[in-house]
Chains A and B, each alone.
Chain A
Amino acid sequence: MVYKNSVEQMLENDGKLQLGGYGEVHFNKPYFNDLYKASQLDVHRLVLFYGYNFSQHTQFVSEIEFEYAKELWIEQAFLQHRLNKYLNLRAGLLLIPMGIINETHEPVTFNGVERPVIDNKISLSTWREIGTGFWGSFLPFKIKYQIYMTGGLNGYDGKAVFNGANPLRDGRQKGSKAYTYSPALSSRIEYFGFKNLHTGISFYSGNSQSKLYSDLNKDSLRLKKTADSSVIGIRMIGADFRYFIKGFQLRGQFYFINLSNTDQYNTFRQSGNTFNNLGKQIIGYYLEAGYNVLRPFPDIEYSLIPFFRYEFYNLHHQVEKPVVADKSLMNTILTAGISFRLNDHAIIKSDFQWIKPANVHFWQKYLNFGFGVTF
C-alpha cells in the first residue's frame, strides 16, 4: 500500500484543491567603464499558488510570493463567482490588468532573464491592489474584458512618494493595510479573433492617495487645499500585441501615462531641500522578435529561441515648470539573448543588455543568466 499524505489524498479524492507555483533564480553582472560593480545572485521570486474550487462556479485563487529570498508578499488572493457565461464577479487582492506582463508573468512565458524594463519603470509589475469588479468573454466576438475598482496608489504619506526617476512604483500598496479615500478604475479589453494574434488595450484611471486627509476637519479649507495639492490624477493607457507563427514570435507593448497636478505635487519634498521632479507625461514601449531554431527538428522537444528586444522609455516626456526635463530619465535598452525551453514548465535564460541614458555617450552593460520554472 502506498502511503499518501493528507494533501495528496485531498487532491485525489475530489480535485477541488489546486496547488502550483513558479520560481526564478537570477545572476546579474553589470559592466561599467569606470566603476567596479558587484554581480548579484538572487532567488528573485518563488511563488506558491493555491486555489480551491468550491463549485463549478465559485473559486478561491491565491499566490504567496517570496521575493529576494526573504520578503513575503501576497500576490493575489481573490474570490471568484461565475454568474453566467459572460460575467464573473471577482473580489479581493487583484492583479491590475495592465499590459502583458502584469497578468502573465510566469518566467516560461517571456524572453529575457528580467521582465522588460518598462514593465518595472512605467507599468508597476507585479501591480496588485484590493478591489472588486468583473470579467468575462464574448466568444462569438472573440473578446475578453475585465473591469475592476480598486484602492488607489499611495502618493503622499508624510513625504512625496512619487518622483521623476521612480514615478509611481513605490505607490503600490499591495493589499498591505492599504488606505484609500478614492477608488481607481482599471480595465482591459483583449481581442483574439485573428489567427495567432492576441491584442489588448488597458486603461487605468484614479487619483493618488494622501495621508494629509487623515483626520482632516472638513471645514479646514486651507488644510484641505494643501491636502488636495498632494494628490495627482493618474491616467494610464497600455496597448500590446503578441504574434506567434511557425516558431516565429513577435510582441510589442506601449505605455503612456498622463499625470495631472504635478506642478503642485512637486512642491512637496521627498527628502532634504531638493524639490521633487515628477514628470507630467511618461512614455515607453518595446518591440521584441524571436525564433525557435529547433522547430524544424520534429524529434527535439526543446525550444531554443534567440531573441532581440528594442526598448525605450522617457519618464520626463513632458514636465511642468519649474521642473526641467532630465535627459538621464530618457533611456534606450537593447536586449539580445537566448531562451532555452526544456519543456513547457522549465526554461534556462541568458541575455546581454545595453542601456543608454540620453545624457551620456556610452552604454551600460549587463550580463544576465537565470532559470525559471512553473508547475
Chain B
Amino acid sequence: MKSVLLKCLVLILFFQSFAFTFNGPPDFHPRQLDREIRKIYHTDHFQIAYYPSSENQPDSNTGKYFSIYTGNTLAGYGYIGRVMSCRQGMCFSNLKNSKSSFAEYFDYFILFDSTISIQKVMVFNYMASHGNEITSNGWLKQFIGYNGNNSLIAGKDIDAISGATVSVHGLINDVIIRTSAIKKLKSEKKNF
C-alpha cells in the first residue's frame, strides 16, 4: 500500500513539473499566433503592435487588441483573449466578476485583414470540461469573412453543436464584441 501511495505521489509530482502558467492571465503571444500570422499574411517579417491597455480598455488583463505590420505597411488587425465558459446549467454566477477564480475558460485569437474581415479564429488553450468541439479548425472556419455587417447566429450561420452550447455562444458573442470594438478603434484612428 505504501509503495502504491509513493508511486502516486511521484506521478503527481511528475505531472506537476509540467505545470505551465495555466493559472493567471492568458498567454498574449503564443507560438500559434506567430505561425498563423506567417500563414495568413504570407510573411516571415512582421511586428505585432498591441493596443496600449492604459487607454481605458476595461478588460485588458484578459484580452488585447493589436495591429500587424509588415515593414511600415499595416497588414491587418487582431484580438487575443479569454472567454469565460461554464458547465451546461451552471452559468448562473456573474461571470464578469469571477475571473480570478473561474476554472472554466478558453483562450483564443482572431486575425483580421486590413478591412476588418476575419481571416482566422483559433482556440489555443481550452480549459473548460465540455465543448471541446469548438476547437476544431474546420468548425472555426465558419467565422472567416465575418466583418460585423453580416449575422452570426448559432444554428443558422454557425453550426450548433449539441453538448457544446455554452462554448459556442461564448465564442460567437466574443467574436461579435471584438469585431465591433476593432472597427470602432479603427474609425477613431486610435494609435495601434
**B92 and A20 contacting across the interface, CB-CB below 8 Å:** yes
Q: How far is the CA of A49 from the CA of B87 in the complex (A)?
A: 10
Q: Tell whether, in the assembled complex, residue A20 and residue B87 are in contact, meaning their CB atoms are under 8 Å apart.
A: yes
Question: Bound state CA distance, A85 and B106, in angstroms?
Answer: 11
Instruction: Give the interface residue-count category, chain B.
Output: 35 or more
Closest Cβ of chain A to B137, distance in Å, is 8
CB <8 Å contact, B103 and A57: yes
User: Does B136 have its Cβ within 8 Å of any Cβ on chain A?
Assistant: yes
B162 touches A19 (CB 8 A): no
Please give me the residue from chain B that is nearest to A297 by CB atom: B156
Bound CA span A18–B166, Å: 15
Binds A, one of B39-47, B63-71, B119-127: B119-127
Complex: how many Å from CA A57 to CA B135?
Answer: 21
Do A21 and B89 touch (CB < 8 A)?
A: yes
Binds A, one of B19-27, B52-60, B110-118, B173-181: B19-27
Which among A104, A192, A246, A249 has the highest number of chain B CB atoms within 10 Å? Answer: A192
**Smallest CB separation, A298 vs chain B (Å):** 6
**Distance between B21 CB and nearest chain A CB, rounded to angstroms:** 9
* CB-defined contacts of B191 to chain A, threshold 8 Å: none
**B93→A242 contact, CB < 8 A:** no
B12 at the interface (CB under 8 A from A): yes
Q: How far apart are the CA atoms of A18 and B136 in the complex, in Å?
A: 28
Contacts of A80 in B (CB 8 A): 103
Alpha-carbon separation in the docked complex, A192 to B168 (Å): 14
Ranked nearest first, the 3 interchain pairs of A and B with the lowest CB-CB distance are: A195-B138, A15-B98, A20-B89
Q: Identify the A interface with B (CB < 8 A).
A: 11-22, 49, 51, 53-59, 61, 80, 82-89, 104, 106, 108-110, 135, 137, 139, 142, 144, 190, 192-196, 198, 242, 244-247, 249, 292, 295, 298, 303, 344, 374-375
21 pairs across A/B with beta carbons < 8 Å? A12-B94, A18-B93, A19-B93, A53-B98, A53-B103, A55-B103, A56-B103, A58-B103, A61-B90, A84-B15, A84-B20, A85-B127, A86-B15, A104-B130, A109-B163, A142-B135, A192-B132, A195-B136, A195-B138, A198-B133, A303-B155
